[in-house]
Each structure stands twice: as C-alpha cells, then as structure tokens.
C-alpha cells in the first residue's frame, strides 16, 4: 500500500509541483489549502483528480484534524510569503505562519506521523556569507542604513574593508532582517522542537528563489521573475531596487519539488536543515535582461530605482553541498535554460501588474529609502 502524504498549502506554486512529483513516484496525496485570493485570484485551481483536496485554513483545528487523519507524513508549505508585505502586515504573517504551524503541531500530538518536512527560507540568513580580501570568513555582515541612503549598497567590515560574497552554507548563523524571516525561522524551529519532544522525524529545507510556470503573476509579493514577467507583459519596465547588482540564487520549482520528496524519503536527512538552490549566481538586473530577451522585448530595459526596501539584503546564494551529500540532490533546470518554457506559460496567463501598488504601500510606510 502506497504511503499517503499531506501537503499544507498544496495548491500553491510549489505545492502543485510537489503533488505532481509525489504522484509520479507512486504516493497518495492529500492537500490542505485556504485558497487565499492574493495568491489564487478568483479562478479555480486545476489539480490532478487523484489529489484529495481539503479546502481550509491551517489555523482551523477541525480542518487540520481531518487533513492529518491517516497520513504517513506532512509537507508543511502553508505560509504567507513576501519580505516587503511582512513589514507592514505583521499580524497577518505571524498568525498565518507561526500560529498555523502551532495548530498543525498541536493536532499532530494525538495523530502522529513518521516525518514532517517544513519549508523554510534563505531569508533566515539575512545577508549571505562573505570573505575579506585576506580570506577571512564573515558570517555576520550587515548593512548600515546611513550608507544605504548614500547609495553604498555593499556591506563592509566594521573598519570599512570591502567584502566579497561567497556561497552560503547551513553553518552560517541566522540573522533575521524581516518579519517574514522571523516567522520562517519560527516555523523551522517549532517543527524541530516538536519532533525532538514527540519522536517525529523532521527536516527543514531552506529554499532560495524559486521560479517556474505556475507562480502567481498578479501577486506583487511573489517571486521576482513573476513580477518582472507581469511588468513586461503589460509593456512596462521591470522595476529593480538598489542598483540591480544584488546577487541571488534561482532554483526551478520542479527541482524544489524533487528535493522535498527526497527529504521525506532519505534517512540521512532526518534532523537536518538543508539549503535548496541551484548553486548558481545571478545579478538581479541580468535576470531582468534575460527575461526581456526571452519574451521578445529586449528594448524594455529595467528601471533601476536606486532605493532600498526595508528588510532586503544585498547578496545571498546557496552552497548546496549538503543537499547533494544527504539527498542526492542535483539541480536539473538552470534559469537560463528554462526561460522559454516559463515565457510560454506567461503568455497563456492573464497578468495584472500590481508592482506600482506594492511600491505605494511600502513608500507610504517609510519602508523604502
């Protein structure tokens, strides 16, 4: 008899890809999802008929009890997502992410499962890992607001020496720069503490920037690639904070889905926190240019704002050596090789550009400097 797994937030972008991956591997799948309008709009989400869907909020005890009955493991993906929005909708993020996780764990006391795999985030690191010109590792780099206001975007040492960003591994201490990061770390730790107390296996995956077909194009707080695509589809230039040279790691949603399945299957993963990224480095302005070229609009150059958002970090990209070692994980879909598929999906969708609305919300609260 095939194992049955629950995916909280299973009708979201990553959740749907995970449904497909688990079904292809022969597992039974159940989903609990609140179908939040900001993410899903007013359209019904298409899902494989083999997936059992329970519509409900992860903070609803009765719905959670129904969802966990008879499952062998839980993929906990349900969460409010977005650094910028978390800085002014604080109660919403803390409630959705941390209270939601608490309700799930409370109900699992009486209905235990073998393993929980929780979606964490690279945002918990704050700034990524750096080294000095002498090769000294700097794990606590932070930017100073006064330097940012002057357009000095890169962090430096306390005595003003320059720093070079390098791949961030899991040994870097967390440094929580946003409410979103705080809630994701709380989810991660709550699951681990619960697992230790109740003998439930746990794994936390720290996801880097996930992209691919299926992102919410009209949600301005979703992935940067979807935001850029929404702007370009409406004939508008992608807007980029700071100078566009901040560096990130973009990992395809199908690679992420496979990593989640491996984290549920592999005994080596138990008790671990694991980065899931591509292991590649991309300046944000380069990403915008690649996408514009793929969409046939290379003449639309990105708009560089020269301003920073509160809670944003400068550089963070993944060291995925641990994922390779413990999960046998190897990314198969590089960003530059996957844009044609992404663009084909974007063209078939209706995208409402709400980027300007997002900026107004942030600026009205003094969260852009």
Average pLDDT, integer, range 280-295: 94
DSSP 90-131: HHHHIIIIIIHHHHHHHHHTTS--SEEEEEEEGGGGSS--EE
For helices 335-347 and 284-294, give the axis angle rounded to 10 degrees.
50
Instruction: Give residue-wise pLDDT tens across range 298-338.
Output: 889 999 999 988 778 999 999 999 999 999 999 999 999 99
Neighbouring CB atoms inside 10 A of 279's CB total: 19
pLDDT of res. 361? 55
Spatial distance between the Cα atoms of 342 and 153, rounded to a whole number of angstroms? 31
Given a cut of 60, whether residue 353 has pLDDT beyond it is no
Domain map of the chain by residue range? Answer: 4-364
Widest pairwise Cα distance in the chain: 62
Question: Which residue is listed with tokens 């900026």?
Answer: 359
Fold designation for 4-364: Rossmann fold (3.40.50)
Paired tokens of 15: 């959740």
Instruction: Give residue-wise pLDDT tens across range 217-256.
Output: 656 556 788 888 888 888 889 999 999 999 999 999 999 9
pLDDT of res. 345? 86
Contacts 24+ apart (CB under 8 A), 90-96: 90/179, 93/179, 93/180, 93/183, 94/179, 94/183, 95/59, 96/58, 96/59
Its pTM stands at 0.92
The torsion defined by the Cα of 15, 25, 191 and 222, in degrees rounded to 10, comes to: -20
Q: How confident is the model at residue 87 (pLDDT cuts 50, 70, 90)?
A: confident
Q: What is the CA angle 331-129-329, rounded to 5? A: 20
Given a cut of 50, whether residue 42 has pLDDT beyond it is no
Instruction: Give residue-wise pLDDT tens across range 98-141.
Output: 999 999 999 999 999 999 999 999 999 999 999 999 999 999 99
**What DSSP state is assigned to residue 318?**
B
| Dihedral (CA of 145, 150, 155, 160) sign | negative
Given a cut of 70, whether residue 156 has pLDDT beyond it is yes
CB 137 within 8 A of CB 131: yes
């Amino acid at each position: 008899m095939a194992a049955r797994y629950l995916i909280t937030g299973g009708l979201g972008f990553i959740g749907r890809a995970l449904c497909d991956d688990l079904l292809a591997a022969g597992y039974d799948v159940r989903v609990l999802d609140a179908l939040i309008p900001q993410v899903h709009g007013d359209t019904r989400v298409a899902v494989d008929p083999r997936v059992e869907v329970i519509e409900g909020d992860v903070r609803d005890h009765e719905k959670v009890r129904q969802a966990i009955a008879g499952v062998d493991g839980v993929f906990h993906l349900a969460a409010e997502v977005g650094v910028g929005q978390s800085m002014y909708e604080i109660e919403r993020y803390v409630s959705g992410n941390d209270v939601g996780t608490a309700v799930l764990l409370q109900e699992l006391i009486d209905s235990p499962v073998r393993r929980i795999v929780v979606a964490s985030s690279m945002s918990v690191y704050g700034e990524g890992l750096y080294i000095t010109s002498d090769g000294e590792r700097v794990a606590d780099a932070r930017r100073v607001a006064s330097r940012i206001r002057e357009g000095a975007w890169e962090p430096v040492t306390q005595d003003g020496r320059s720093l070079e960003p390098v791949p961030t591994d899991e040994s870097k201490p967390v440094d929580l720069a946003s409410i979103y990061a705080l809630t994701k770390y709380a989810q991660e730790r709550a699951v681990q503490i619960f697992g230790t107390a109740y003998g439930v296996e746990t794994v936390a995956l720290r996801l880097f920037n996930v992209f691919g077909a299926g992102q919410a194009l009209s949600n301005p707080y979703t992935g940067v690639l979807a935001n850029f695509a929404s702007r370009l589809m409406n004939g508008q230039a992608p807007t980029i904070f700071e100078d566009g040279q901040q560096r990130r790691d973009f990992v395809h949603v199908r690679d992420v889905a496979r990593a989640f399945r491996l984290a549920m299957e592999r005994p080596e993963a138990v008790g671990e926190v694991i980065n899931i990224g591509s292991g590649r480095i991309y300046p944000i302005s380069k990403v915008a240019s690649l996408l514009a070229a793929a969409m046939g609009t290379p003449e639309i150059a990105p708009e560089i704002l020269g301003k920073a958002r509160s809670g944003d970090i400068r550089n963070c990209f993944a060291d995925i050596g641990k994922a390779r070692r413990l999960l046998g994980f190897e990314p198969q879909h590089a960003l530059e090789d996957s844009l044609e598929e992404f663009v084909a999906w974007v063209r078939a969708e209706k995208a409402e550009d709400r980027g300007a609305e997002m900026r107004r919300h942030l600026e009205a609260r003094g969260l852009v400097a």
